[in-house]
Structure 1
Amino acid sequence: MAESMLILRMCSIMLVLGFSEAKMEIITSKPDLLLGENAMLLCKAGGEGDITWQKDGEDAEEDQIEKVDETSSKLLIRNAKMEDAGRYTCLCDFDTGHIDHTSYIIFVYERPSFGETLAYHEFLEGQDVVITCMVTGKPVVEVNWERDHEKLHSEAGRITRLKDNSLQINNINRKDRGTYTCEAKIKDRPIFEKLDISISVNVPPTAKIHEEVKKVTAGPETNVSLRCLVEGVPQPNIIWTVPDSSDESRYKYNSDKSELIISSVVRSDYGEYICTAKNKISESSAMIMLDVSEHPVAVLSQKKMELEPGQTLSVSCNVSGHPMPALQWVRKTNNDHLLTVDAGGGRVRMEDGYVLVVDNVTSSDGGLYSCMAISPAGNASTDFSLQTWPGKASQVSGTPGPTSVHFTLGASLVDGGSPITHFTLQWKTGRENNWQERVIQSTDPLVIKDLNPYTTYSVRFAPQNHLGQGGFSEELTVRTQGIREPDSPVLVASEGKVEGNMFSIPLTQLDSGGSPITHYTVRYRVNKVDEDWREKDLPSNSTVINLHDLQYKSDYHVEVLAVNPYGSSSPAKLNFNVPQPVAKMNKGGMGKGAVAGIVIAIFLALLIAVDATCCYTNRCGMLMFLAVKLFGQKVPRMKTVEEGDGTSNGKASPNGDPATEA
């Protein structure tokens, strides 16, 4: 079949040559023959004669030669072998006696082949490696190496070519990975083959954690991130080894597990965390210690105790945390100072390192005690309240009036750890054996009232809290004064109230001067120069002052005098302000806006009514204007009084409208 195709091709060539100038030549379709191929050489002599063939100067074999006609001959090469390569000469002994010849060189080759050359290599970083390229082919094959379309030269260096055409790379690294091309080319011929060889450089994994110890404090808002820096080729897999006590349900990882996030850190998360990076080459590990501190906590056996004087207090405080906090009991004083409770053998002491003990409780022991837990992770404290009876008042003096005694305290009262709620006031004359008493609120003045003038009294008082009554103060002997004018009334500015243009304030009288109050005189004015006083009297049993019809946005000055038959007291003075009132909407009526709206609505209604009347009677007004614009209505010609009588003084204009002559 192949031979038939060659014959057809040669016939086509001969047809073309038949129209060309006759000359001696050899024609073939394949100057280069692949080993095993067939080829035909056609010799065109250009004239009649005897045609013979030679190869490399020797006569060709007869079975290869076929005569076509008197002017042409062909030589067949079947199943080309390497020895078929050479110079083929066509000789012609023309009938004219002229001898001529022409030659043609046939090249036979075996195509380059890479045999069992590996197309993929894996190497370990740092090794000296050799990449082989096993090439076969004939007659002579040249080998070249390329990378990224650039030719690799054989100069001495880290990458060199060996004599057997292998490529050597010393101390290979990750930058050397990629595709290398081995090119096999038949020498002096454009015949070549290429093989791409992939190089992978493996790197043993490394795992690094910059911190050896990470310190955090446990808590629901505390999240900790542990990062492991991993390198290696192929990409290593990461495995975390965590403490057995840690709850992995609170763990979160990023995509490659190089970061471990622990949410809501607790104490049990404490321990070693090991990051292991592993690939097919080897594995590497790094460790970090998670040091979890717990904020200290102090817990009391009870928060409050109520004891009678003489009893013993014992309350325990347990502290926890990591590191274990130190425990300290302190006493909080009224001036916010802290007094440390020692662990010695005193009446107030700490036992066993955590129990507060107070023997023979006194009033001065009452108050707040704080259990403090102190550690590097922070401090915590919780308060304990000891409550007992109040103490006896000390440094008490009494100031007599005609009918009263006013107590003055030179030192603060000892409340026993619970607020004073009442005072018990007692008094008696020298002839009396029993004390008279009255209980007052703790906010009331410490005054015994309604005593007799010119009388010697023994007086004392005792504080009370919700637990009981404390001891009475030392007895004071006082003599009330003679009858005189009353003391000034008491006005407490903070109790005054302003409502609209009215002012009210409670009125208190401590001492009447030994004679009943007849009335109170109240005078007030705007606090300006040359303003007139306004004055009024109040009954003696009055307990509140009410001032009416005051001016808004004004400052006032008021004076109150207590009057008895012996005169009037010094005035009690007070200043107050009456502010500008805030406008309020009358719920039962209409505001100014509503009234204005009604007036505008009425005005618009009247305006529309007048305009409508004008429209229908005299064909004028806004409604008429809108009707013409919107509906195109024609305005009828107006009739004059004369038209009503059948006469007119004007002439009709061409458009039908009346026109007046000048």
Structure 2
Amino acid sequence: TSLSIYLIYTAIQVEITPPQGEISVGDSKFFICEVVGDAKDIDWYAPSGEKILPNRADIFVSRSDEATSTLTIYHATVDSAGIYKCVAKDGDKEAQATVQVKIFQKITFKSAPNPQEFIEGDDADIVCDVVSSPPPTIIWKHKGSKIQPAKDGESVQKKRKRGEKTPHLLPTIRVRHPEVNATADVGKSALLACDADGFPEPTVTWAHNGVVLEDGDKYSLNDDGSELLIKHVTKVDEGDYTCIAKNKAGEKTEEVSLSVFVQPNITYLSNQTASEFDDQVTLTCQASGDPTPTISWSFGNKVFTEGEQSVDRNVVVRSHARVSSLTLKNVQFTYAGQYLCTASNSIGQDARHMYLEVRYTPKILGSVTVYTWEGNPANISCEVEAHPGASVVWFRDGFQLPTANSTNMKIYNTPSVSYLEITPDSQNDFGSYNCTATNVMGSESKEFLLIQAEVPSSPVIQQVEPFSSTAVVKFEEPDSMGGVPIIKYRVEWRLPGQDWTGKEEDVEDDMTGITITNLKPETTYEVRMSAINGKGEGESSQASTFKTEPVRNNHRLSSNHHSLVSCLGEPSAPKLQAKVHSLGNSLKINWITQDNGGSKIKHYLIRYKAKRVSDWKPELRLPSDSTYIVLNSLEWNTEYEVHVVAENEQGKSKPGILTFKTDTEPTTVPDPMDGGSGMGTGAIVGILIVVFFLLLVGVDVICYFLNKCGLLMCIAVNFCGKAGPGAKSKDIEEGKAAFTKDECKEPIVEVRTEEENTPNQEGGGATEPNETTPLTEPEALARHKAVLLVREPH
């Protein structure tokens, strides 16, 4: 077999609209170069043959889309005239088109002195120097009559005995702009103008499609008829208009062409519905406009152009004339959403949205494993995506939950997530749970596992970095977390053979070390670590041995013996860490003194300043047990330098130095209460006092009726003779124990469970979980706890 490959080259065609242009000096005009076929480059060339670059101020070139380029001539001059060329290229394929631009200059009198004086009897050369483009026709008049040169150079005027005879002159017409452009449906007008000369003075009228135009709502003419104003231009106004000049000598006509461009307008776009796994769905967009608009599609940030859009060829765009279609093959539920159709041309653009609805069977998301322990509630989350919406049911061992015996299970449903809350009572509550979601398109099931959490394994001590009185224990997190996050680490140390001393540190991000303090210099210690999660504390790591460093010696000269004497040293420089507060101009500085020099730290000295100034802020002194300081009301967007010095009996340490920069001051949002018409502070305080008083009265009334206590009950008993809360009543019939003062002098004892006071027992519904509801509670309380209440008899 053989394979033959045929290459088809499509010719490029170039067309310029309008095909020719006439511009008055000072006016602007644009030309559109449209390319049929694929073109990589579209360039314009000036009459001089030079390529027009985009940075020119008098001529601007812009590429509207893949097949269109626009040339705009601004404030035309006489030098702007000539032949402009548009060249389209794609590889070795090239096509071009030209447009001739003519520049008209209005008539200007360069030299026409007034008055011009001559000696009687001499020949008079009257000067009238006029320039224009094209060259003007100059007409001379004397006493209202035109002077027509004769063939022999003598005047046409001939005097006769009984007066003068002036010949009639056929009208001439000069069109100001042979071609006029306008935009439709934007409420604007178009002005067509022609100037007519002749003798007698001609009358000017206008006609369109053979119909003479008159003043009215649509058209407006000036006094001499030379200007025709077309109001509220629409596409139907496009075409040729005839300027007609008529006098006794005859009639003359000239054509003026009106080109009307139309902004794009999307005329058809409708929502679509499809089902998942359909072969395809097609979205259609139709638009009108002149020049013919190009149509593009977008979905979110993805823009679709002509042709196949993906490697799997599932998205195809096809456009023809004013209609474009977007075809999505092998429909997926992710195709659902809002699509944007945009139609654009050199005049403007229009855009409209449409919605694709995809119906699909439920999709179940969420982590399949959840860890907890007996007595600790946990949420199993079944997140469902479905359209139409789905109903969710939980099962275990084929039985729908909750069952009559499953009092430790509750179900909470939101529009997109179903939560199964389980408080394991025994090992039997751990295992597999089934979530099934169903809608009209079908159903989907997923198994979730509730697993017994374990305490974490032991951390691995990598290194101990000792100092004279402190040590930094560096470690790796445990291999096993036990299924739930680690919340604390415990570090313990001791002298060999003695009891352990320990402390706990909360877990922080990227935590790799813990500092232990109050150690003795040159002493051997053992250290071990353990991790703590919600289930409890894991096993301790294997003990590591380290020895603290000796105190750094500070030698000084004895005044009596003139010899060097060894003494205790000053502390090491504190190690500083900084954290910018949410306010942006406040800073919290933490420090650790790794070596106290062999004697107790007396205090810490802190000073700071802005780096751009030389003066320090007043020095701050903090107690020896201080580990941080918060610097408030700092200047915005300013770099600061902070020094922290530790001092003991022997002296001061070298400073720990930290530099930082505050945030840029945020934009202040005015407080609406600052307005002049706002409520005063006194009024607000008064309202709060009234509300608080009413709240107290309400609470007292509730206590009176429900618990037979409070201020009202006291008034009723002491002033109204009402029996006190200890009196006999129908409470005995209702099964409640109550004793009067005479019947019993011993304290009243009631035993009840906390469950009796829960909102659920009073008819309240269970609280629905939200984003803040934890999957596990490290220190959960038992569900039913016995409470012994003792009340003294009245």
TM over 0.5: no
**Which structure has the bigger radius of gyration?**
1
Q: TM-score range by the shorter chain?
A: 0.3 to 0.5
Q: TM-score, normalised by structure 1?
A: 0.39
Q: TM-score, normalised by structure 2?
A: 0.33
Which has more helix, going by share of residues? 1
